Structure formats: C-alpha cells, structure tokens
Structure 1
Amino acid sequence: MKSPQQDSDKTTRFDVKKGFYAREQDAYSSLNKGSYFGRYLINRELGRGGMGIVYEAYDPQMQRVIALKVIMNKDLGDRERFLKESQAVAQLNHANIVRFYEFGDFPQLHFTMEYIHGLPLSNLIKDRRMKPNFLVTILRQICQACEHAHRSGILHRDIKPANVIVTKEGQAKLLDFGLAKNIHAQDDLTNTGEALGTAYYMAPEQLQGNPNKRSDIYSFGATLYEALTWRTVYQGTTNINIIVQILEKPPIPPHQLNPEVCPYLEAICLKALSRNPARRYESFRQLDQELKNYQHKRPILARKYTKWDTLSTMIKQHMLLFSFLAIFITTVFGFSVFLVIAYEKLESKEAQLQTTNQELKHLNRAMIEALDYARHSEDHHELFFDMHFLKPLKRIFQQSSQLKTAKEYEFLRGLVLGQTGDKEDIRQAIIDYNNVIAKDPGSPLSYYNRALLYEKTKEYPKALDDYNTSIRLNSGYARAFYNRGRIHEELEDHNAAIADYTKALALNPRFYQAHHNRGRLYMVAKDYAQAASDLKKAIALNGEYHRAYATQGELLERQGKLDASIKSYSTAISIKPSIYYYYINRGYVYRLQKQLSFALRDYQHAMRIEPDNYLAYTATGVIYQMKNNSAKAVHYYTKALKLNSRDANTRLSRGILFQLAGKMDKALSDYSRALRDDPQNAEGYYLRGGLYIQKTKFRQALSDWKSAVKLGHVESARLRKEIPQLEEAIRQQK
C-alpha cells in the first residue's frame, strides 16, 4: 500500500520574465534503509518533490513512524521556501490536512509530519471504480481543508490528485504544502513573476505569477475533472503546449469524454475551471455547500452545460469559420429556393415533386455531414480547404444537374471542386474563379483561392501574381503571406520566402507552420541558431507537428549532434509513422554512426510503407556496400533503377561495384547512362575517366577528367596534376 507522501510528480517552475520552464531533476541519492538522519531511522524513500526527498522513517524518541522531508537543494531561495513550507504547515490544524510535527536544520534542513496509510486519489482515479457519492464525499473534505488553509492566510498552489490521500476509513488528507504561500506576506519569494505548481492543474493567473484563493479553486476543478473523465483537462507532450491550452482553450465538457458524468457535477466542475477567476466559486466554503446541495439533490449555483454552450463557445473561438458557414448556409438556402423555382417549370407535377424532394434530401444530408465534421475539427480556419469537409458538398455538385452549370454558384463550386485533386475539377474551378473575378475584381478571397488552384497545377508564376493581388487588396491575412512564401520557395527565392513567413508571423505569432518553414530555410542558409529557434517555437506551439521534429532532426544531423537527431526523428515517427522518408532520414543518421543494422531496419520499414519508392532501395544498397556484400548491393541498386531509371547517383554506385568486380563493360554502360541523364555530374566524369585509363583509352579519359575539373570535382587539384601525364600518354600512343 502506498504512502501519502509517495508523490513522484515534479514541480514545474515558470519565470514570466525569462519565459522558460524547467523541472527539478532527480539529482540526489536516497538515504539508505537502516541509516540514520539525525535521530530518525530511515525505512525507505517515498518520493521526490520540488525541493526535497520524502522518506518513511521511525522516530525512536516519540516511538512512531513518521514522514521525513529533507531539502536537498542548496539554493538559498529553495532553502527559504522550505522554511516557509514548514511555517505554513505548522499553522494548520485540521482533520483533513496532514499533521506537522517538527522542523530542524541538523544535519540538514528537514521537517517531519504524520505518516498516512492510504492511497493517493490519483490511484483511485486510475482504477475507475469510485462511485460519484464517495468521490463527492472525498472532495468535500478537501474543500473543508482548503477553506481552513485560506482562513489561515495560506494558499496551497499545488492541489492535484497525487496530493490527496484517502485512508481505508474514507478520510481524505491534503498533502504537500511545499508551494504554500502566505497570502499576507510582503517578502514572498515568488512575487516577481515565478509560477510554482504542476502545469496540468494550474490556473491561468497562476501561470502568469499572480495566484489567489480562486487559483486553488481552479486546481480543485482540474482534480474533479480528472476524477470524472480519467484524464487531465489538457493533453500535450510539453509543459508549454499544456500552458498554451490553459491560457487559450476552454476544456472539453466532461460528458463528451465520459457520457456517464452527471450534468450537475459537470456544471460544478466547469464553473470551478472557468478561466475568468470572477466566474469561479467565491470560496471553498461556497464550493463545499454546492457539493452538499448536489449530494442532497438541492438546487446548485452552477448552470448545466448545454448544446447551446458548446455552439456559443465554438462561435467565439472561430468567428472566421462561422462567417464562412453563414455565407455557405445562405448559399445553400438560396440553392434550395433555386431548385424549387426551377422545377416549377417542369410539365410533370409528379416528376417535379420527386426530383425536387430527392435533391433537397441530398442537400440536407450533405449539410449535416459537413457540419458534423466541422464540429469535431480542431483547425476550423482551414475547413474550407479540407477535403473531408468538402466531400459531401462535392457530391452534391456532381449529382445536381442544376449546380453543375448554374452561374449563380460559381464561387462555391470553384471552392469545392478546387479541393478535389481531380484535374478536370480543378480546371473547372479555375474557369469559375475567372468568371467570379471578372464580375468582381476587388475580391481578395477569389484571387487567393485561384492562386491555390494554380499551385496545384504547378503554374507558380500565375499563383504568385494572384497572391500578390490578394495581399494588395487585403494585407491582413497571415495565410496569404504564408502561401506566397511557399511559392517563393518553389521559385527558389528563399530570401523573399523568409520575408513572407516573417510577415505571416507578425500577423499571427502562433502560426507554427510559418515558424517551421522559416526555420527550414534558415537551416538551408546555414543559420543554425535561427533555425533552431524557429523549430523550437513550432514544436512549443504544436507538440504534435511531426514535420517540425523531422526538420529538427535534419538540423541536428547537420550540426553533428547525431544522438539528438535520432531522438527528433524518432519523435516524428511516433507521431506520424506512415511517412516513409522519416525512416530513410533516421536510417541515414544511423549509417553515419555506423549502426548499420538499425539503418537497415529503417530502410526496410520505409520499403514496406512505399514499396515503389526507389530511395529506400538505394539506401539499402549503400548499407550492403558498406558491409562488403557487393551482390546484395547490386541487387538493391538494380531494384532502385527499375523504379527510377534516371537516378544518376544510384547508377554510378552500381557502376563502381561492376568495375570492382572486373565487369568493365557493365560499369562503362552505367557511367555513360548516368552522364546522359545528368550531364553536370562531376563524379560521373571522374569515374568514367578512371575506367577509360584502365582500358588504356587515354583520349576519352582526358576529356572526362577535364570535364570533372570544369565542374569542380573534389579531386580537381589532383586531376590537374595528372592531366599532363595523360596528354603525354596520348602522344606516346601516336
């Protein structure tokens, strides 16, 4: 059975001025079982917190088992905070707060408290077996403990399931006042913008270094949320990712994660979790009364979360989306009227009713499918460029004889058909936008959408012209600058691309794709510091953005940080395991480390994902060449060339193996074909020149080596010295 103090969570520290997060490290060794700390006999280590280590120990003087907390950090601030912890706990005397025994500074700063036999609330939550009434009883005890602490002028600042122990008698004990703050103290060590606590449970104002009584209520709400849904309020791979969500996103209503949650208990939870402190409960006393009213089926203050609340929140978060939807719904309604009027012209009333009814059914179904997808989408700004959202609408345009040709719907038809990927649809979409722009040349969105279509047809100069016009008409849309930056990349104007990504970020600092693309270009320009900064920001803004991890892997490989590079590629693969070239790139780093078996495994995995892509076969051939297995190397090079016969470098690699095996004609054939496919390949001329020398064809060798020198081959200096010898050999042949 676990002890109350067996909490392995680390304390998160955030300095608003410095803007970084850190975690305490397990930097200290435990005291051994059977050793003494002062008069206390150590039984075992229970856990490590933000400043020290907690042990189960025996006090022979008082003849009782106690929990001993020892400060391990010699930092003066931590020592002073440790002193404040002991002073805070000493003031508190409540049945639901762990009892403080004594404080000392020999042989090291420490204090002792009662040892509780029980289970952390976090364990009970993981078991998923708590009944609602039992949970509420436990939570009410915590409310009463926190109310007592607040009345004593103490904030807890780290309320979470791991800091609540439930005894076998059903009594709750609140632990770990290691981050406690005296509300009235003027010399508090954290009044300069440092936020202490566990990120998952911290209120927005606490993250910003301004905790108050209602910050503890928020943490209590986060604890209740976890008990109802069996997960934390926000999910993420980094502290920064969690913190951004706390500051900007409302929590998912618990019933969406656990349909069995009582709506009244959900209402209490969401009120406690309000990002606006004024909308939370005024005090733990009020919150305790609320939970008591819930237990006795009396009215509560919190309002049940309704579908209207979901819609209202969604509208506030995504005004752009709903502006688009309003246009869309208006258009669809207009189309419905259009259908009815059109079919009034039919001679057969029966045919009129049947056709109209059928098309309206299709239209209604398409609207429901599209809006249902929108409801579950996380990136509402991109819905109108998301094929899953547009798919049911595309079906309507393809099935309706009216919509296929109706000029009234050229804009919507162009929007929908332009996202299908079908060449004929894209051509029709461009025609539609040409007509729309001819009628209204002042619409920035029309130019923007047509530019997207020109990107798909690889007409990059036309796309660039349209993005220029769109930006001239509306310079406030970050996505337009971002897309124009991508066009500049395609046209190999990297400076212009970086400038556009920078403008996109000025308009939307949270544009993680722009950070990634700019970082990638800085990497290409060998500005590794700027590249690292941008990629780090992209990952902080979206911890699931696999492309940023992959590019970071490439950057670290270029810097020679191979272990870190593999770690980044591995993260990218864990997020998106279906992208074959992530395996190829990681395999390349393994190859640099001479870990050939790992490299081979990655290349084989890439082949399984994309069996028709030549790169994995070429890379595998290289591994077998390094292993001196020429037969297998030639086998894989040949497979690669069947998939891409114009890959000059793979053909040169196979030619080298043929030459080493004495198959001179095959080698010459490979070198010559490689040079036909890539006439600027200096290595090809160098290799073929060497082969010609072996065949005593000095004139051809001379020509090839001169070409190699002209193209800047790495051996140019040596070749210049040997060319006169070739010329002499030619004269002697005459």
Structure 2
Amino acid sequence: MNHQNSNTANFGKYIIEKELGRGGMGVVYKAYDTQYDIYVALKLITKEGFSQDDYERFSQEIKALARLNHPNIVRFYEFSTTPKPYFTMEYIEGCTLDKKIKEHNVKSLWLVEVMMQICKALEHAHQCNIIHRDIKPSNILIDTQGVVKVMDFGVAKIDSAHRQNLSQSGTIIGSIHYMAPEQVLGKATYASDIYSVGATMYEALTYRTMYQGDNQMNIFYKIIRNDFIPLRQIRPQISPYLEAICIKCLQKRRKKRYQSFTELHTELKNFKSNRPITAKKYTKWDAFYKFFNRHRFALTSVVIIFLTLVISLFVTLGALKKADQTAQKLQVALEEADQSSEKLQKLNEAMLQSLTYISRQNRHVDLFRDAQFLKPVRDVFAQSLELQTADQYRILRGYVLLESHHEKDLLQAVKDYTAILQKVKNHFMYTNRGKAYERLGKRKKAIADYNRAIALDANHYFAFFNRGVLFQKAKPHRAISDYTQVIKLHPSYYKAYYNRGQVYYDLAKYQEALADFSKVLSIVPEYVHAYFWKGLTYRKLNKADVGLQNFSHAIKVDAKYFRAYFQRGVIYVNKKQFVKAERNFSQAIAINPKFWGAYVQRGVLYRHLQKYDKALADFNLVVKHDSKNFAGYLHRGVLFYEMEDTKKALEDFHTVITLNPRHKKTYHHLFLCYRRLGQKEKMQEYIKKWEEK
C-alpha cells in the first residue's frame, strides 16, 4: 500500500500524513510506520532552545508512558532522540471529550460511562506511582467503539522518594482551568487528579469551565479562594446526585474529596445502578454555609444589626457609638430574650429569607443596596407600629424602606431620616434621605442633601457618587468631577469607574471610556456590563472584531445577557454574516420576548433577504405591543413600499412623523411615495420639509 503523496513528509521510518494537535513542547502527527505497517501518533519535539530541563521533562513523559499498560490509556510504542527527540503511541480514530462539549452533545449517562473508564485508567496510573496532572477534556479520547483513552501523560509526575521535582523552579505545569488548589501552589498530589476529573465532569455537564478570568493569575486566585457556581444553577436538568458526585471531587480540601479513583468508580457505578451514593446532595443550606464562611465578618455585622432590633430597649442611641461594648451586651441580652415571641420569629424568618437569597447569588452583591435581600425585612418593619418609638429602629427602618421603591415607604423613610436629623446632623442620614428624595423624583432636594453630607464629611464618597448619578445626563462634566473624587477617596469602588466610563462614552471620549471599563474588570473580573460597554466603545472606534469579542465574553459570563446577543447580531449584519445575525437576534428575543429593538433589526434583516412575510410579522408584533415605537412603523413603511403597497406605506410614514416630527429621512420616504402616486403638490411639500430638516 502506498502512503506517500504530495501532502506527506518523511521522518525516519515514518511517513507523516497530518497534524493532530500541538502542545507546549511539540506537535502530534498521524504517521505511518513503514517498518511495522501500522498507523501511529508521532509526537515530535519542535520547541526551540530545547534545554536540559526540557529534555528531563521529555524523558519523564516517556518513562511515565512506558510504565503504563491499561486498555483505557493510550499505548506507548517507542522513543528516540534521532534525528530529533520523539516518541510514538497508538493512533486511535475517534473524538475528544472537548469536541463533544463544544458541540453541546454530552448526555449524562454517557458521561458517567466515560468517567468510569477514566477512573480505571487513572487508578492504574496511581498504582504505578504516577500522577497525571493534566486531566482535561482535550486529553480524553473516545474511539469509534466507545472505548475511552486517557492521553498525554506529558506532565506526569513520578511519585518516588528519589524523584527530581521539576516544578521547584516555580513553573506551574498543567492546564489552569482544571487545576486543584494545591496544584496551583505547586504541590500536586494524587487527589489533584481527582479534582481535575471533577473539573472535567463539571465542564461536560454545564458546557462551561468552573472559573473564567482575563488572565492566569485571576483564575488562579479564584481556584484558591472562590466557590464555583453549583452545576444545577447553570443547568437545572442535571441530576442532583450526579451534581453531588462532581462537587465532592471539587472540594478545596483534599481530605473531603474521594480518596481514590476506585472509590469514585464505585460511586459512579452506584449512581448508574440507582443505588445509594456517599456524596451529599448540594442544598441551599450548603450555599449559605459557604457564603457565611467566606463573608463571616460582613454577615456577623448583619446579624448584630438584626439583634439590635430585637433588644433595642436595652440599647440607647449613645450606645451605638460604642460598637464593641454594644456587641458584648447583645450576646448577653440575646440569651435572656424571649426566643418564642412573635416579633422575634418574624424577624428571624425575614433574616433567613434574605440570607437564603444572598446564598443563591453568583455576582457581586452589595448587601445593603439589594432590594431583594431587604424585602422580607422591609415587610416586617412596615407592619410594626412599635418601630416609631426608638431612634435605632427608625434609622434602620428608614434604610430598609428606602430600598423598597414604593412611594409610601419612601415617604416614611424621609420622615424617619428627618426625625433623626432634627436631633443630630449626620452625613449618612443626609445621604440616605437624599436617595429617598431621588427615588421620589425630587432631584433638587436630593442634590441639596448630598451637598449637606459632603459639607459635613468631605471624605464621604457615597454622597459624591449619588450626586454624580444625578448630574450624569444634565451636567456630564460635573458628574465626571464627582466620580473622579469618589475614585480618589475609594480607588477600588468599581461603580465609579463604570459610571464615569459611560459619561465618557456619551461625550465621545472613547479611549477614556475604555480605560474606565477595563479598570472595572480588573476589580470585578466578571462584571458583565463592563464587557458590554467595552464592546459598544470598540464599535464606535470601528474595531468591530474586538467589540464582538467583548460581547461574546459578556455572553460567556451571563448566557442570558440579551443585549449582547443583539449587538453581536448588528455586527454580523455589517459583516454580511446574515445567518449568524439572525441567530443572535432570535436568541435575544428568546431571552427577552419584549425586546422590540431586536424584532425591528431582525425584520430589517428579513427585508434585506427578501423574506417579506417574516419581516412583516416582526414589524406587526412591534407596533402591536409598542404603539409608540416609531422605528417599527418606519421599517414597516419601507417594507410596504418595497412590496408596492404604497397606501399602507404612507400610513406608516405619517405615523412616524406624528411620533417623531424631526425624523428627516421619513420626509424623503413620503416624497418617494407621493412621486410614485404622481401627486406633485405632495411631492413638493415633503421634499421642502425634507430640505428644511
């Protein structure tokens, strides 16, 4: 059989046919072994400046492979350094798990079968004292018969008393998204492979990696410090028992993971057979427990505030200034309090609802500025007549009612803060009353209160920030000044950069806007709105491809961010990639069926593609549900004109003029309609109006 053709190359006794993949040190090819008449996977070292350390690492890979003999591990054939360092392995027709994930083509039971085979392979490796250290979807190959093969022991660690640890220089070996916390710190163990299998399972079930970030250090930090999003919050259809198995693999503390792949294999087998498993299902209480441990200080402060409400009769307004002494008194008083009282029960229930809400959040949460967090407690306050008797209650009630956005509650908040301010002038009270005025639409009174707060404390950045928000549209330069002052006082307050970036965008100062949005992401790496605004800014700078990347990143962070799909659709239209454009507009509509702008743009696209029925359906839907949407009438009028239904086109164009008399282009459309009808007087009337506009 002749394997030589114009697309092949010779390497010793091998005929290289095609490239299969690339790694940090070399390239893997499909090659034909002329001596043994078989296909092999040939790994050829191509790295320039191949050092002694590199050679040792390469030799280590060979030693690792040579010691492994298992049906679920790719077989090793031979190794040589002539003419270049290389080795060969069995060639397998199939696809990687990575490809299945990208295709969103992973069924849970099929994945369990795959994972069970991986467990067998890695248990064998561990018995040979080998830690793989680079388990990931692209290193899991499934052949055409469904047999799983674990590949690439190229970063394997030989666990013996005499080994040379090649990572001592500080080089982190492995793929970062799948690394265990201890591996990030350069201390890979057998348990690290179990974590990596869990990370692989997580991605296969949710179609996303556990952590996202702009750079390695950001991801490393999240692996070590942050909790990942529970699988069923991303895809509720995932079995809670399979989620439990995956989460047990991913525990940050090694002792809490499965202690061997034999144990994990048994667990998966029991799951498959509907037998009991040892992993505990993930519950809301687990989320709360994790959240509490991570934010112990903040939540302790919240609890103290609530306890203050319960035993406020024991606390005076002056005692609030002595927080440490008060906290000690609260602990004693709590033991003596009547735990069965109706008010305490209601308050505890309200607190539990609020904290349970927080535990479900996977975004940056400002505890005291989240209306959903405060809602249950707000209801308790609103119903309690006794709260009028104590200044401590009045302060906190005002704060909670401030977040309700109901006029009655906001007016009560103003009364509460006014009562306090009659006794003592306090910048926090002025700021909060200003916020209540702002939400009541009393802009001048709000600004006056923010000014008073700043006069009392020039370092009170919340007052500057809130005042900047009020100036943002009417007085953008004053808004920039206020936001800049916030940044000076509190350099890590990301909202100030974000708002200032929007002002710069409105002023067409796009480079300054980009700098601010980038700063936001350096503080809060997954702040989806910053990616979105970066995308808009790059579009203004005629860098559509970079804008597209940012919109895509926004979607990666929040798959339901419909505005990002819409903007991607607009870019794809300009790039004449109409199928992608239609898909993105439709996705935006699927997420938000009342996003009329997406219907308009999809209708325009359908009109361009001469799919008139679909275009008309979109425009009709817009004007039916949003009768003041002049863009819907405008584009439907253009569609009617193209369909030669001039009468209906005229009706729509006249509606546009009624809704938006300054829309110049519509007068030209009216001129064209009357020209088609041969009405010269109307033609002259509207061409004149068009010129005047």
**What's the TM-score bracket when you normalise by the shorter of the two chains?**
0.5 to 0.7
Deviation at residue 499 of structure 1 after TM alignment: 0.8
| Partner Cα distance (1:222, 1:186) in 2 | 23
Shift in Å at residue 260 of structure 1? 1.9
Aligned counterpart, 1:17? none
Q: Structure 1 pair 292/158, CA: closer, same or farther in 2 (3 Å)? A: closer
Contact 1:501-1:517 within 8 A present in 2 as well: no
Shift of residue 427 of structure 1? 2.0
Residue 160 (str. 1) matches residue 136 (str. 2): yes
1:549–1:572 CA contact under 8 A, matched in 2: yes
- 1: CA distance between counterparts of 2:577 and 2:242? 55
Aligned counterpart in structure 2 of residue 611 of structure 1, from 626, 629, 632: 626
- Does 1:528 find its partner at 2:541? no
Match of 1:39 in 2: 13
Query: Does 1:687 pair with 2:692?
Result: yes
Shift of 1:391: 3.2
The 5 A counterparts of 1:47-446 are: 47-71=21-45, 76=48, 83-92=55-64, 93-95=67-69, 98-103=74-79, 110-115=86-91, 126-129=106-109, 138-139=118-119, 142-143=122-123, 145-146=125-126, 148=128, 156-164=132-140, 174-179=150-155, 195=172, 197-204=174-181, 211-214=186-189, 217-224=191-198, 226-227=200-201, 230-231=205-206, 234-236=210-212, 242-243=219-220, 245-251=222-228, 258-260=239-241, 269-271=249-251, 273-274=252-253, 280=254, 311-319=288-296, 321-323=298-300, 325-330=302-307, 333-334=310-311, 366-379=350-363, 381-400=365-384, 409-442=393-426, 444=428, 446=429
Identify the match of residue 639 of structure 1 among 651, 655, 658.
Answer: 655
Matching residue of 2:588: none
Aligned-pair distance for 1:201?
Answer: 0.6
Please report the TM-score for the alignment, with normalisation by the length of structure 1. Answer: 0.62
Tell me, in whole angstroms, the C-alpha distance in 1 between the residues paired with 2:547 and 2:637. Answer: 21
Give the Cα separation in 1 of the matches to 2:480 and 2:175: 42
In structure 2, the partner of 1:516 is 498
Q: Deviations over 1:317-374 (max 9, x none)?
A: 2246414531453255359999xxxxxxxxxxxxxxxxx9987776565444333323
> Where does structure 2 lack aligned partners over 5 or more consecutive residues?
271-277, 316-339, 583-599, 605-617
Query: For 1:489, which of 442, 464, 472 is the aligned residue?
Result: 472
Rg larger in structure: 1
Deviation at 1:204, TM superposition (A): 4.8
CA distance in 2, matches of 1:91, 1:582: 49
* Deviation of 1:307 (Å): 8.5
Mark the runs of 5 or more structure 1 residues left unpaired by the alignment. 1-30, 275-279, 339-355, 673-683, 689-734
Residue 602 (structure 2) aligns with: 601
Structure 1 CA distance for aligned equivalents of residues 411 and 506 of structure 2 = 35
CA distance in 2, matches of 1:636, 1:225: 56
- The one-letter code sitting in structure 2 at the alignment partner of 1:160 is K
Q: CA deviation at 1:59?
A: 1.9
Query: Which letter maps to 1:230?
Result: L
Deviations, residues 387-415 of structure 1 (Å, cap 9, x unaligned): 33333334444555555898763233322
Separation of aligned partners in 1, 2:383 and 2:257: 60
Instruction: Give the drift of 1:496.
Output: 0.7
Q: Could you tell me how far 1:669 is from its partner in structure 2?
A: 9.8
Quick one: structure 1 residues 498 and 585, their matched pair in 2 at CA, closer, same or farther if it must change by over 3 Å?
farther
1:450 maps to what in 2? 433
Query: What SS is found at the alignment partner of 2:241?
Result: coil
Letter in 2 for 1:521: V
Q: Secondary structure at the match of 2:491?
A: helix
- Counterparts of 2:346 and 2:459 in 1: how far apart (Å)? 37
Secondary structure at the counterpart of residue 87 of structure 2: strand
- 1:560 aligned partner: 542
* Contact 1:485 1:500 survives alignment (8 Å): no
| Greater mean deviation of Cα atoms: 390-399 or 470-479 | 470-479
Match of 1:418, as an amino acid?
L
In structure 2, the partner of 1:712 is: none
Shift of 1:249: 0.7
Q: Structure 1: how far apart are the matches of 2:441 and 2:155? A: 58
Residues 94 and 148 of structure 1 are in contact (CA less than 8 Å); yes or no, is this contact kept in structure 2?
A: yes
Cα distance per residue 1:81-135 (max 9 Å; x no partner): 8755531222222335655444457777642124468986777994433798996
* SS of 1:211 mapped into structure 2: coil
Secondary structure at 1:438 match in 2? helix
Whichever residue aligns with residue 528 of structure 1, its letter is Y
Q: Distance in 1 between matches of 2:555 and 2:94?
A: 41
Q: Which residue does 2:321 correspond to in 1?
A: none
Shift of 1:433: 1.7
Query: Are the structure 2 counterparts of residues 563 and 453 from structure 1 closer, same or farther at C-alpha, using a change threshold of 3 Å?
Result: same
> 1:423-471 CA distances to partner (integer Å, 9 max, x unpaired)?
2322222121222333443463x34432322332344454455456657
2:324 counterpart residue number: none
- CA distance in 2: counterparts of 1:522 and 1:548, whole angstroms: 14
Distance 1:201 1:583, change over 3 A: closer
Contact 2:180–2:195 (Cα < 8 Å) also in 1: no
1:622–1:293: structure 2 CA closer, same or farther, 3 Å change rule?
closer
- Hey, what's the Cα distance between the residues in 1 that align with 2:653 and 2:94? 64
* Gap change, CA 1:394 and 1:570, over 3 Å in 2: same
Q: What amino acid sits opposite 1:390 in the alignment?
A: L
Deviations 1:31-51 (A, max 9, x none): 988765542245765544445
Structure 2 residue matching 1:76: 3-state secondary structure:
coil
Identity %: 28
Quote how far apart the aligned CAs of 1:568 are.
Answer: 4.9
User: Over the residues paired in the alignment, what is the CA RMSD in angstroms?
Assistant: 5.8
Aligned length: 599
In the alignment, the residues of structure 2 paired with residue 117 and residue 160 of structure 1 have an alpha-carbon distance, to the nearest angstrom, of 19
Task: Indicate the residue corresponding to 1:731 in structure 2.
Answer: none
Preserved contact between residue 518 and residue 531 of structure 1 (Cα < 8 Å): yes
- State the 1:592 CA deviation: 11
Separation (CA, whole Å) in 1 of partners of 2:126 and 2:300: 45
| AA partner of residue 89 (structure 2) | M
Q: How does 1:13-32 map to 2 (within 5 A)?
A: none
**What code does the residue aligned with 2:655 have?**
K
Displacement after TM superposition at 1:176 (Å): 1.1
Residues 416 and 41 of structure 1: CA distance in aligned 2, closer, same or farther (over 3 Å): same
Letter of the 2:151 partner, please give it.
L
CA distance in 2 between counterparts of 1:664 and 1:167 reads 77
The TM-score with structure 2 as length reference comes to 0.65
SS at match of 2:354: helix
What one-letter code is carried by the residue in structure 2 that aligns with 1:387? A
Quick check: 1:46–1:56 contact (8 Å CA) kept in 2?
yes
Quick check: 306-315 or 84-93, which moved more?
306-315
Aligned to 1:679: none
Structure 1 residues 634 and 267, CA, compared in 2 at 3 Å: closer, same or farther? closer
What letter is aligned with 1:687?
E
